[in-house]
Amino acid sequence: MALDLHHIRSLFPVLHQEVNGKPLVYLDNAATTQKPQSVMDSLTRYYELDNANIHRGAHTLAARATEYYEKTRLMVQEFINSREPEEIIFTKGTTEGINLVASTFGRKFIHKGDEIIISTLEHHSNIVPWQMLCEESGAVLKIIPINDKGDIRLDEFDKLLSSKTKLVSIVHVSNALGTVNPVEYIIEKAHAVGAKVLLDGAQSSSHLKIDVQKLDCDFFAFSAHKIYGPTGLGVLFGKREVLESMPPYMGGGEMIKEVTFEKTTYNDIPFKFEAGTPNIADVIAFQKALEFVNDLGKSQMVVHENELLSYATEKLSSIKGFIPVGEAREKVSILSFLINGMHPFDVGVMLDAGGIAVRTGHHCAQPLMNRFNIEGTVRASFSVYNTEEEVDRLYDSVSKIAKIKNK
Amino acid sequence: MTDTRQIQEEIIDEFSILGDDKESTIYYIMEIGNKLPSFPEDERTEENIIKGCQSKVWLTTRFENNRVIYLADSNTDITKGLISLLIRVLSGRTPQEILDTELYFINKIGMSTIIGSQRSNGLVAMIKQMKLFALAYQAKLNV
């Protein structure tokens, strides 16, 4: 059954407005998705009726807030199919998840001469934490190259792997190109040499069905705000045995069992990694975002998003001066491109003048842009609430803009 | 030569014809950006890049007959358009004239809504650098 787009769009108030005198076309979903009304209602409701600090209060509100907060953990467990809810740690976002692993797993298990493998496709948040760790520990960062289409070079990956490899930290879906990486292969190979694998799921979590048990990854980090949820909230999944072997991230309340001035014993997972009062309201509201996705069904959503991507790619490719960037074998939701003779920023500003929101620039992936010898791209990224008519609007505007320099 | 106020009034008039239509305004800015005289290649250096702009902006000057000539370029056409407006008002004037000029046209044409607040910061950096050049030449004259 096809999705009822009219109904879906009615759940997102922000979509129904004019920008620069034109109906808004929101195609910056890879940066952040819009939020359904239910998420916003949940936030308001929490503050109106349930607000209390969690896990320790003896009173009713505290018990209620704790129950709702922990319910999200169960829903997330189901969402990514982890074995246990204790393997779900709430963070500020994907970036914090990766930094958490670098600071704890990294500091404990990665030493001088050890190697960490990432790829050319990475977002800065999956580059810089490892550079920092390498600088501190004397470990070495190795980079899997990509081909001109934007696919990872598995032959090169095989060559980089060795007994020195302690961690492979790789993006599941590229935020700049939309490339879906063959992570099953990477995980299997990495495990064969005894390395752990972290998947940056910031993009994949909203488009692909995630099963961390089937994937067998050791870590999986993602952000709520890219899956219709609130900003400032993310999830780090880690396998129980790996999380238990890691030292805590931040010290403070919640993460302890017992504190004396002589010695502190740490709480069990996941609380060991959730020091301080967490982002309770947003965690609770995230349930509504997950419900939204579950109700529609991810497989249905992906079909629609892929249709939009193919439609857009085909249509825009007919424009004189249109240059696609990233034509990987398997892609989701993201169309990165350039217009011959024009700076991506100018294209972005002109699209905005026509009410169309896209992202322009290096997409926090400067090494990737350097690989293609470009400063940046224009990126249109699709979500479940986007329509073919909106792709037509994009096409019309890009055609008009491209004509300036491509007569 | 018309004074800086007259030129600013001309610009305000041109933009008022475009009205509230942001699309035509942006197209117009890009069009005038494309007409910016070419920038000397040997002066396209790191030192001539203005710090604080989102896109790359190169700025250099000549000082001829006590007048400051500005030469500038950018990697984006919209920025080139903005530069060309500043050059139209300030270039070819004495350092004192440049220092005395209040660039009120920028607010009058609603530049910050056209280019957004981040870019406005870049514009401020550009103006500051242009005035700094004028100040330096002025100081030289006074020696």
pLDDT beyond 70 at A319: yes
pLDDT band of A374, cuts 50, 70, 90: very high
Selecting from B21, B23, B30 the residue whose C-beta is nearest the C-beta of A346 gives: B30
- Between residues A258 and B64, which one has the greater pLDDT? B64
Test A353 with B22 for CB contact under 8 angstroms: yes
Structurally, at CATH architecture level, domain A5-28+298-405 sits in Alpha-Beta Complex (3.90)
Answer yes or no: is pLDDT of B55 > 90.
Answer: no
The percent of residues above 70 in pLDDT, for chain A, comes to 100
Average pLDDT for A196-217: 97
In this prediction, residue A260 has a pLDDT band, given cuts at 50, 70 and 90, of confident
Chain A CB within 8 Å of residue B136 CB: no
pLDDT at B51 over 80: no
Distance in angstroms (rounded) separating the CA atoms of residues A404 and B31: 9
The burial of A366, by beta-carbon neighbours within 10 Å (0-12 exposed, 13-18 middle, 19 or more buried), is given as: middle
| Best A19, A343, A393, A403 residue to mutate vs chain B (most B CBs within 10 Å) | A343
Phi, psi of A219 (to 5 degrees): -135, 150
Q: How confident is the model at residue B140 (pLDDT cuts 50, 70, 90)?
A: confident
The C-alpha of A362 sits at a distance from chain B's nearest C-alpha, in angstroms, of: 12
The 10 Å CB-count burial string (b at 16+, else e) for A146-175 is: beeebbbeeebbeebbeebbbbbbbbbbbb
* pLDDT reading at A349 higher than 80: yes
* pLDDT bucket at B18, cuts 50 / 70 / 90: confident
Nearest to A353 among B26, B54, B76 (CB): B26
Strands A322-324 and A377-381: unpaired
Residue of A nearest to B31 (CA): A404
Contact B78 A346 (CB under 8 A): yes
Q: Does B115 touch chain A (CB under 8 A)?
A: yes
Residues A76-132: pLDDT tens digits? 999 999 999 999 999 999 999 999 999 999 999 999 999 999 999 999 999 999 999
Q: Is A364 a catalytic residue?
A: yes
Please tell me the number of Cα atoms within 13 Å of A354 on its side-chain side. 20
A-chain residues near B78 (CB < 8 A): 345-346, 349
Contact A345 B21 (CB under 8 A): no
Q: What is the pLDDT of residue B1?
A: 61
Residues sharing a CB contact under 8 Å with residue A307, sequence separation 6 or more, in sequence order:
none
Tell me if the domain spanning B4-142 has CATH number 3.90.1010.10.
yes
Whether residues B23 and A346 touch (CB distance < 8 A) is answered with no
Q: Given CB atoms, is B120 within the 8 Å cutoff of chain A? A: no
* Residue A407 predicted with pLDDT over 90: no
Name the CATH code of domain A40-294 (choices 3.40.50.300, 2.30.130.10, 1.10.132.20, 3.40.640.10).
3.40.640.10
pLDDT in the model for residue B116 = 74
Res B53: pLDDT: 65
Q: Is B73 on the interface with A (CB under 8 A)?
A: no
Contact check, Cβ <8 Å, A343/B23: no
Point out the least confidently predicted range of A24-33, A39-48, A362-371: A362-371
Residues of B in contact with A353 (CB under 8 A): 22-23, 25-26
Is A197 or B76 the better-scoring residue by pLDDT?
A197
Contact with chain B for residue A404, Cβ under 8 A: yes
Closest residue in B to A345 (Cα) is B76
Range with the poorest average pLDDT among A63-77, A120-134, A253-267, A381-395:
A253-267
A-B contacts (CB, under 8 Å): 33
Q: For residue A375, which residues of chain B lie inside 8 Å, CB to CB?
A: 75
Q: pLDDT value at position A339?
A: 97
- Which residue in the set B22, B25, B76 is minimally distant from A345, CB to CB? B76
Give exposure, A6-42, as e/b (b: 16+ Cβ within 10 Å). Answer: eebbebbeebeeebbebebbbbbbbbbbbbbebbeeb
pLDDT at A103: 97
With beta carbons under 8 A apart, name residues in chain B contacting A343.
55, 75-77
8 Å CB contact of B77 and A354: no
ipTM score for this prediction:
0.84
Looking at residue B54, its pLDDT comes to 67
Same topology for domains A5-28+298-405 and A40-294, yes or no? Answer: no
Minimal Cα–Cα distance from B110 to chain A, Å? 14
| Angstroms from A391 CA to nearest CA on chain B | 19
Task: Report residue A328's pLDDT band, with 50, 70 and 90 as the boundaries.
Answer: very high
Q: Kindly state whether A24 is in contact with chain B, defined as any CB-CB distance less than 8 angstroms.
A: no
Q: Which chain A residues are within 8 Å of B30, Cβ to Cβ?
A: 346, 350, 404
The residue extents of the domains of chain A are 5-28+298-405, 40-294
For the purposes of burial, counting CB atoms within 10 Å of the CB of A260, is it exposed (0-12), middle (13-18) or buried (19 or more)?
A: exposed
Q: Which of A269, A241, A234, A245 is nearest to A255 (CA)?
A: A269
Quick one: average pLDDT of A236-252? 95
Instruction: Considering only the beta carbons, identify the residue of A20, A343, A404 that sits closest to B76.
Output: A343
Domain positions in chain B:
4-142
Q: Which residues of B touch A345 (CB under 8 A)?
A: 54-55, 76, 78
How confident is residue A2, by pLDDT bands cut at 50, 70 and 90?
confident
A23 touches chain B (CB under 8 A): no
Closest by Cβ to B75, choosing from A21, A343, A350: A343
Whether B26 and chain A come into contact, CB under 8 Å, resolves to: yes
Label residue B121 by pLDDT band (50, 70, 90): confident
- Of the two residues A280 and A2, the one the predictor is more confident about is A280
Instruction: Give me the catalytic one of B11, B36, B53, B83.
Output: B53
Question: Is residue B118 over pLDDT 80?
Answer: no
* Cβ–Cβ below 8 Å for A343 and B27: no
